[in-house]
Amino acid sequence: MKRAVLALSAIALGIASAGAVRVRTDLAAASASRHDGSASGAIGRALSGIAPVLSARPNDDRDLAAIRQRLRDAEAGTYIAEILRERDSALVRWPDRVGAPLTVWIQPTSPVNDFTRDYVSRVQVAFENWDTLQLPVRFAFVPDSATADVHVNWIDHFDEPISGRTRWARDDDWTITDANIILAVHHHQGETLDPESMKAMALHEIGHLLGLDHTVDSTSIMAPRVRVRDLSDADRATIRLLYALPAGPLR
């Protein structure tokens, strides 16, 4: 059963900032928080500094102590602690899909003024850039939207000062079940995104689609203000760590 919907948004190349808008439905109230071992470093602060509003399910047999230790051991060079703070001390990601890539449909044409087919090819390149990391979730493009797990659509502009938005839903196991991306051809104030800026926005939104949240590091593609045009070492390290761990709450 789907348990939550998350909407994340960003603006291209530092024009303005944007935050994450969360919409959760039917979240069970938690009882006491669950602690396994002492906390240290940024991960420890992220875990211990959050009110215990979420807890592992009663039948959750994950070794939380081992997961938290692995986080502490591998947190250097990542912004995983920031994600834990934003996600109420939980990891959310797609289930491993080895041999069964996520199918992606990118809207091939649009009546939006200034739309160009170059946008489609640059968004494809953005997906391919994430694919080079060889995560247990890969992407494959399909021509039929009805067969796609992920849809990418175009709009003229957002009414908010953002240029892209990703919405995904998760199930009771904290794994993402479906997701969609919307990209704007124009900034909020009317400026047209060039193809390379569109690629940068797509890289950012695909990061959200995979389960990443924003980071204060402006040199990373996952900064709220997208100032760069490629994945940073921190982006790569963070997503690899996320997909080396099971989804679910850590308290």
For 31-73, what is each residue's pLDDT tens digit? 222 222 333 456 555 554 433 333 344 345 678 899 999 999 9
Element (H, E) at 104: strand 102-106
- For residue 184, the cross-strand partners are 155
Q: Which superfamily does CATH assign the domain made up of 2-26+93-249 to?
A: Collagenase (Catalytic Domain) (3.40.390.10)
Least confident range from 22-26, 30-34, 114-118, 221-225: namely: 30-34
Average pLDDT rounded to a whole number, residues 94-117: 96
Alpha helices in the chain (DSSP H): 41-48, 64-74, 80-86, 117-131, 195-210, 233-242
Euclidean distance between CA atoms 111 and 113, whole angstroms: 6
What pLDDT, on the 0 to 100 scale, is given for residue 62? 75
Amino acid at 226: V
Is pLDDT at 88 greater than 90 in this prediction? Answer: no
What pLDDT, on the 0 to 100 scale, is given for residue 9? 63
Distance of CA 233 to the CA centre of its chain: 16
Average model confidence (pLDDT) for the chain? 82
Record the pTM: 0.82
Is pLDDT at 240 greater than 90 in this prediction? Answer: yes
With b for 16 or more beta-carbon neighbours within 10 A and e for fewer, the 22-37 pattern comes to eeeeeeeebeebbebe
What tokens does 86 get? 């934003």
Q: What percent of the chain has pLDDT over 90?
A: 70
pLDDT digits (tens, 9 = 90+) for 154-168: 999 999 999 999 999
Amino acid at 116: T
Euclidean distance between CA atoms 165 and 167, whole angstroms: 7
Average pLDDT rounded to a whole number, residues 116-126: 98
Is pLDDT at 21 greater than 90 in this prediction? Answer: no
Closest residue by Cα to residue 40 from 67, 63, 73, 62: 73
- Write down the domain spans for the chain: 2-26+93-249, 41-91
